[in-house]
Amino acid sequence: MANFDVIVLGSGPGGYVTAIRASQLGLKTAIIEKESLGGVCLNWGCIPTKALLKSAQVFEYLQHAGDYGLVAEGVDKDFDAVVKRSRTVADGMSKGVQFLMKKNKIEVIKGFGTLKAGKKVSVKDVDGKESEYSAEHIIIATGARSRELPSLPQDGKKIIGYREAMTLQSQPKKLVVVGSGAIGIEFAYFYNAMGSEVTVVEYLPNIVPVEDEDVSKQLERSFKKSGIKIMTSSEVTKVDTSGDGVTVFIKTSKGEETIEADIVLSAVGIKSNIENIGLETTGIATDRDKIMVNDYYQTNIPGYYAIGDVTPGQALAHVASAEGILCVEKIAGMHVEPIDYGNVPGCTYCMPEIASVGLTEKQAKEKGFDIKVGKFPFSASGKAKASGASDGFVKVIFDAKYGEWLGCHMIGVGVTDMIAEAVVARKLETTGHEVLKAIHPHPTMSEAVMEAVADAYDEVIHL
């Protein structure tokens, strides 16, 4: 039986990053993966979806070439080629992870891993052969999959999840997206931009419901302007797939509506991959589909840890990576501080993009803060106007008493690359006045952050 210091079960952005950091710290490390290195995020999530979205964005640019004084005639898309490019990008990234495993001398074990008592893992390969491995520390990073609703059972053809949405053989003429979180909204944008007729059905009163209400309302306006139908406070009660397409029955505040579509995309959240991995055998505690861990990702059973989507924290790739690094640094005896989950940025890569960190205005008020709120629209930004990207804004929220930056919410082109300023500033406990006096380059989209802060303190210049 091969013995290691650390075995990581799962090679997503939590697992493979954890394995690399463990190896850097001098720990003999192995990683177990049943499919492709990089997990869902790299192969079926974060990366290939961004490739699809880029193709949609370029297609939109070409269709609006006249807005920039250019002529582009006969512009069309090749849906198969768009999907193929996305898969090529994902395959290339997976090969990159393979290289990193070799570079860091991490043993890659292919197969399905099952936890055993006594700090052991049994792995069954594609041929059914079982092998057993042991380690002082076993880290569970098995991620999650698309959650299914009883009223919306996925068949992989007419009712699909995110995996099928990335590799459809033909583009649907009509698509219904159920759920308006990041996954649903990104695919709604992609298919609409590519020419499909898209309807978004959201159970709650606002789309992207975790975002600040001003952001939700702006995205709804932008989507409606693009031709996407938005149905909020609505619920899919059943679907009929007996015909050529799908009939979707939707309960709304005005009564029941039916929509005919070619395909329904179920994007109603995720389900943790914790079944059949040996949690019961080892006695590892779970609660409501999540593995229970402490601040350092230790389970109730010594020697077993869990990170990423299988734990109660935010289900985000960068969170899983951060958790894994902290976990193995603690194992290696380093001094580490627990992650501040209140300072984790969230990004949605539709167009316009959404990025946020910290409290929404509503949350800040509910917590009893006396707040200063600033908002700067990209319609007043020289760079945004010159780029033809004036939809959206930057919104900032500060504690009026101490100047603490409580929250930052952005919607617009490129804002996912701008939010890190707020994350770092909040980490350093920067005040509003300090941000205001930090010179931002002109003309840039990022100076909208400074302008929004100036608005909060009644010093805005360009508004």
- Residue 282, in any domain of the structure: yes
Of the three residues 236, 251, 268, the one that is the final residue of a domain is 268
Indicate the pLDDT class of residue 64, thresholds 50, 70 and 90.
very high
Residue that the structure tokens 């490129």 belong to: 414
Does 109 appear as a known binding residue?
no
Of 64, 433, 442, 462, the active-site residue reads 442
Of the three residues 226, 241, 268, the one that is the final residue of a domain is 268
pLDDT of residue 1 exceeding 80, the answer is no
Taking phi over 0 as left and psi of -120 to 50 as alpha, with beta for the rest, 333 belongs to left
Indicate the pLDDT class of residue 408, thresholds 50, 70 and 90.
very high
pTM over 0.85: yes
Same domain flag for 359 and 324: no
- Residue 339, in any domain of the structure: no
Same domain flag for 19 and 136: yes
Side-chain-side CA neighbours of residue 230 (13 Å):
21
Q: Is 356 helix (H, G, I), strand (E, B) or coil?
A: strand
Strands 290-291 and 286-287, how do they pair?
antiparallel
- Residue 308, in any domain of the structure: yes
Distance from C-alpha of 56 to C-alpha of 35, rounded to nearest angstrom: 28
Q: Give me 172's structure tokens.
A: 């649907």
Same domain flag for 281 and 426: no
- Per the DSSP assignment, residues forming a β-bridge with 200 are 177, 230
Does 140 appear as a known binding residue?
no
- Residue 228, in any domain of the structure: yes
Same domain flag for 261 and 285: no
Same domain flag for 43 and 190: no
Indicate which CATH number applies to the domain containing 110: 3.50.50.60
User: 442 an active-site residue?
Assistant: yes
Interval 431-461: pLDDT, tens: 999 999 999 999 999 999 999 999 999 999 8
Same domain flag for 11 and 126: yes
Does 143 appear as a known binding residue?
no
- How many separate domains does the chain show? 3
Interval 297-328: pLDDT, tens: 999 999 999 999 999 989 999 999 999 999 99
Does 138 appear as a known binding residue?
no
Residue 354, pLDDT score = 98
Same domain flag for 135 and 182: no
- Residue 341, in any domain of the structure: no
Residues of the domain holding 426: 352-456
Same domain flag for 263 and 213: yes
Same domain flag for 138 and 285: yes
- Residue 151, in any domain of the structure: no
- Residue 402, in any domain of the structure: yes
Q: Is 304 helix (H, G, I), strand (E, B) or coil?
A: strand
Same domain flag for 164 and 125: no
Average of pLDDT values for 42-52?
90
Same domain flag for 389 and 419: yes
Same domain flag for 26 and 109: yes
